[in-house]
Amino acid sequence: MRVKKGFKARRRRNRILKLAKGYRGRRKNCYKRANQAVERALDYASRDRAVRKRNFRSLWIVRINAAARTVGLSYSRLIAGLAKNKIALDRKVLSEMAIVDPAGFAAVANIAKAA
């Protein structure tokens, strides 16, 4: 009796086609094309999770630098002063402070400036 790979193979193919939902052309309904597209998409997704972290860090640094210069400091001197005074505020928090609470940021910057 011939055994077909019915259920298992169909389930495997449908899993890929489900991930390819919303793609254009044959990439959404032909298994071979969909598999290629989904593989590539998953590769890009894992790469871009690291890129997103990189982009946000550089955005925070630009914001901190702009705020620090209004107080009369450069970014590098601000970070060095904070490290010297053992003030452990990360760049995300400093960036938010610069936007939401400029007076508080100025106070922290003045502590760093004194060092």
- The CATH number for 39's domain is 1.10.1900.20
Question: What's the pLDDT band for 25 if we cut at 50, 70, 90?
Answer: very high
Segments forming the whole domain that contains residue 37: 7-114
**Does residue 2 lie in a domain region?**
no
Q: What is the DSSP letter of 42?
A: H
User: Per the domain annotation, does 61 fall within a domain?
Assistant: yes
Residue 96: inside a domain, yes or no? yes
The mean predicted confidence, pLDDT, of the chain is: 94
Residue type, 107: A
pLDDT surpassing 90 at residue 6: no
Is 92 within the bounds of a domain?
Answer: yes
- Confidence grade of residue 39 (pLDDT, cut at 50, 70, 90): very high
Q: What is the pLDDT of residue 5?
A: 75
- What is the number of structural domains in the chain? 1
Reported as a single tens digit per residue, the pLDDT across 50-93 is 999 999 999 999 999 999 999 999 999 999 999 999 999 999 99
Domain annotation covers residue 71: yes
CA 44 – CA 57 distance, rounded (Å):
20
Q: What is the DSSP string of 38-88?
A: HHHHHHHHHHHHHHHHHHHHHHHHHHHHHHHHHHT--HHHHHHHHHHTT--
Average pLDDT value for residue range 19-32: 96
In a domain, 1, yes or no: no
* Residue 104 within a domain: yes
pTM for the structure as a whole: 0.78
